[in-house]
A and B are shown apart, each in its own frame.
Chain A
Amino acid sequence: GDSVTQMEGPVTLSEEAFLTINCTYTATGYPSLFWYVQYPGEGLQLLLKATKADDKGSNKGFEATYRKETTSFHLEKGSVQVSDSAVYFCALSGSTTSGGSYIPTFGRGTSLIVHP
C-alpha cells in the first residue's frame, strides 16, 4: 500500500540556519503530496502542497518540489526562525487508478527545534 517515510528527528538548528527535512514515498498512481505542520497543542495544518511531478509548493519561506524520478518531496527553508519550531508531517493522497476514494497517508512526523 501507499506509504511515506520521513527523516527522524528531532532536528535542532540555530536561528537563520538552512533546513532540509527529507521525505520519500511509495504510491500507486499519481498522488498529490503535502507538508503539514503541527504547533504545540494544535491540530495539523497544511503548509504546502504539489499535485503533479515537478511542481513546487511554497509557503512562508518553505518549499518542496515533487520529484517523481526519486519519489521524494523534501522540505526546505533557507533561514529558519524560532517560531518555525513545530512538528512537520509529509503526506500523500491520491485516488486509485480506477478513480476511487482516497485516504491521506502521513509520515511519522519530524520535530524541528530552532534555538535563538
Chain B
Amino acid sequence: DAGVIQSPRHEVTEMGQEVTLRCKPISGHDYLFWYRQTMMRGLELLIYFNNNVPIDDSGMPEDRFSAKMPNASFSTLKIQPSEPRDSAVYFCASSLGQGGNTEAFFGQGTRLTVV
C-alpha cells in the first residue's frame, strides 16, 4: 500500500475562497483523522470518522470547516470561506482501531497558505 495520500501538498489561496483538501486512507483502515498543525497550537484533532461515519467533530474550529467521507477510500476537508488564520499544515491519518494499540499512519500533509 502506498500509505495515506493527501492532495494537494501545497495550496495558496486568497481570503474568501473555498479550499478543499483530499485524503485517501490506507485500504482496510476503519478510522480516519484530520489534524491541523500550527506553531502556536501544535497538533489539533479536528474530526475523526469510524467506518465512514463522523464520530466527533468537536475540534472543528468553526462552521466554515466541514468534512466528509463518502466511502472508505476518500475523505475531504473543506474550508469555505477561507481566512488567513486558517494557514497551517493539515494532516490526514488512518488506523485500525483494534483496542487502541495500533499506530496512526499519517499522510505527508497539505500546507495551506491563505493570503
Contact = CB atoms under 8 A, between A and B. Distances in A.
Answer whether A and B are interacting partners: yes
Interface of A: 31-32, 34, 41-46, 49, 51, 89, 93-95, 99, 101-104, 106-109
Report whether over half of chain A's contact residues are helix, strand or loop; otherwise say mixed: loop
5 contacts: A43-B107, A95-B100, A102-B97, A106-B43, A108-B42
Interface in B46-83: 48, 50, 55-56
A28 B3 CA distance: 31
Interface of B: 4, 31, 33, 42-43, 45, 48, 50, 55-56, 91, 93, 95, 97, 99-101, 103-104, 106-109
B106 A45 contact: yes
Given A42-B109, A93-B100, 11 more contacts: A34-B103, A45-B106, A89-B43, A93-B101, A93-B104, A94-B100, A94-B101, A95-B100, A102-B100, A104-B45, A108-B42
Contacts of B103: 34, 46, 49
Contacts of A104: 33, 45, 93, 95, 104
